[in-house]
Structure 1
Amino acid sequence: MARPGDVVTEHPFVVAHRGASADLPEHTLAAYDRALAEGADGVECDVRLTSDGHLVCVHDRRVDRTSSGVGVVSEMTLSQLQNLDYGGWHPSGMAGSPNSEKSGDTGLLTLDALVELVLDWHRPVKIFIETKHPVRYGALVERKVLALLARYGIAAPASASRSRAVVMSFSAAAVWRIRRAAPLMPTVLLGSAAQYLGGSAATTVGATAIGPSIETLREHPELVDHAAARGRALYCWTVDQAADVDFCRDVGVAWIATNQPARTKARLRAG
């Protein structure tokens, strides 16, 4: 399996963006279980800290969009967050939906539970963990992530190529904190500006990969070669359109994040 930092000559590896989030509610156990069953090579999640110090998989600063509640994640306890419904907003949870009877667990997902799912799966899968910034807890987020990974024995891999986890962020400081504390942990510096990702920032923080959006990569496909020349891979988000999947394959992207892992895998196999 390739890693951020490898130069990939095969088709891109598929990362389920927030799980199989086109079909099931994002960041739920149901969505990740579906993605893994569909053959995803990796899974991606966003993590935030609760007010009582737990890492939970929630993308937004607030829970309003993806739950039955309202409020800021960092101001709520784990128990308060667990009392909310995270599936009803999604079309799959609505009466009459083809997925409504088989959506599975759509409760709050902790990073602990997702790591357990990935490590217990019957084949090797990587977990891509994005830390969100700016947040009120600052560097504590990265420290908590590494402490959690250490509990599962995957915070200090024998080599980057054998790592089961990858840590990502749009914050260069966050990537540097991971690199400094866990030198062999693969990292991805995310961004939307080609000048930023193609410049010195990734070198400065020791990122093993860069992560542009598909829109940025479309405008600057040379980012793939620039990254490879510096020993880095390229992780592209969020790739759902067939033409974009083909494009990523053709320019040599290593990892593509998609909301549709089954369809993306099928497209790559067909190509």
Structure 2
Amino acid sequence: MRPEVVAHRGASAHRAEHTLGAYELAIEQGADAFECDVRVSRDGQLVCVHDRRIDRTSNGRGVVSELTVSRMAHLDFSGWHHQTHERGVLTLDALLGLAKDSSVRLFVETKHPVRYAGLVEAKLVALLARHGLNAPEDKQNSPVVMMSFSSAAVRRVREAAPRVPTVLLFDRLPKRLGSGMLPPWADHAGPDVRLLRRHSDYVARAAEHGHDTYCWTVDDPADVELCARAGVRYVATNRPADTRSRLDQG
């Protein structure tokens, strides 16, 4: 079975990451799913920003947790990527609406460490409830998947919304994960592609324990082919069209 193509922060090789333009392009490029990072703004909204600060991805400055959505509304979040200027920070609420309208799955990564600790997971579960997505009929077809590098964050979502599938992300392979076994609150393994280059058999070990693998960030054609051979279920990429074409050819 071909791995599912997940647009990492949208089609972010071609449009500024975490903008509606990047996600709309991902749809055009045939992505099966979106990926986004979320943080809590000063006024308690979930916003799609990877970094602790907005300096890199906007023409403004400051820490996300100290800025309100209205304060960020006039900022340009796309001009740095040399595209049509798109003003205002993208909220998760807006991205959920696009994902639902497009029937595209959404992988949501909560960022840690953050000032508000577990509030980001509480806000996520509450927002999913407002969209009717906090209790899917089954995990395999859930429109939303939660992810984090923080095991505690994944556990918080499992306790608050036990039917929402989860991914434990990691960029190293400690002994406790090397066998392919995950904590009971994690459904899927989320290794960095650099780990798979050294441990390509990890995907099979995880599968033996009933865990599919979500691999990030896969742009190089050799890495795409590696993921396909290894049996990775979800491939996160900045180049959805190229990655999908490579997988279809294989």
Q: TM-score, normalised by structure 1?
A: 0.89
Aligned to 1:221, the other structure's residue is in SS state: coil
Partner of 1:234: 213
Aligned to 1:203, the other structure's residue is in SS state: coil
Aligned to 1:150, the other structure's residue is in SS state: helix
| 8 A Cα contact 1:86 1:106, kept in partner | yes
| 8 A Cα contact 2:4 2:32, kept in partner | yes
| 8 A Cα contact 1:18 1:32, kept in partner | yes
Pair 1:55 & 2:34 matched: no
One-letter code of the match for 2:185?
A: G
One-letter code of the match for 1:69?
A: G
Measured in 2, the distance between the counterparts of 1:113 and 1:50 equals 15
| 8 A Cα contact 1:173 1:205, kept in partner | no
| 8 A Cα contact 1:19 1:44, kept in partner | yes
Q: Say if 1:196 and 1:75 are closer, same or farther in 2 by CA, change over 3 A.
A: farther
Partner of 2:13: 22
In structure 2, stretches of 5+ residues that fail to align are none
Question: How is 1:196-211 mapped onto 2 (pairs within 5 angstroms)?
Answer: 198-199=177-178, 203-211=182-190
Pair 1:35 & 2:26 matched: yes
One-letter code of the match for 1:219?
A: R
Measured in 1, the distance between the counterparts of 2:176 and 2:23 equals 29
| 8 A Cα contact 1:29 1:104, kept in partner | no
Measured in 2, the distance between the counterparts of 1:202 and 1:53 equals 35
Deviations 1:53-101 (A, max 9, x none): 010000000000000011000001111111210011113x2xxxxxxxx
Q: Say if 1:200 and 1:47 are closer, same or farther in 2 by CA, change over 3 A.
A: farther
Q: Say if 1:195 and 1:136 are closer, same or farther in 2 by CA, change over 3 A.
A: same
* 2:154 aligns with one of 175, 180, 187: 175
* 1:46 aligns with one of 29, 34, 37: 37
| 8 A Cα contact 2:180 2:207, kept in partner | no
Partner of 1:3: none
Partner of 1:73: 64
Offset of residue 226 of structure 1: 1.4
| 8 A Cα contact 1:21 1:259, kept in partner | yes
| 8 A Cα contact 2:76 2:85, kept in partner | no
Partner of 1:223: 202
Deviations 1:97-142 (A, max 9, x none): xxxxxx5745421000000001011xx3210000000101111100
Measured in 2, the distance between the counterparts of 1:14 and 1:158 equals 23
Partner of 1:117: 98
Measured in 2, the distance between the counterparts of 1:201 and 1:53 equals 36
Deviates more, 1:217-226 or 1:241-250: 217-226
Partner of 1:131: 110
Aligned to 1:154, the other structure's residue is in SS state: coil
In structure 1, stretches of 5+ residues that fail to align are 1-9, 94-102
Measured in 2, the distance between the counterparts of 1:197 and 1:40 equals 33
Matched-pair identity in %: 54
| 8 A Cα contact 2:41 2:66, kept in partner | yes
Measured in 1, the distance between the counterparts of 2:8 and 2:176 equals 21
* 1:261 aligns with one of 231, 240, 250: 240
Pair 1:193 & 2:158 matched: no
Aligned to 2:5, the other structure's residue is in SS state: strand
Deviates more, 1:167-176 or 1:192-201: 192-201
Q: Aligned Cα RMSD in Å?
A: 1.5
Quick one: higher RCO (CA 8 Å, sep 6+), 1 or 2? 1
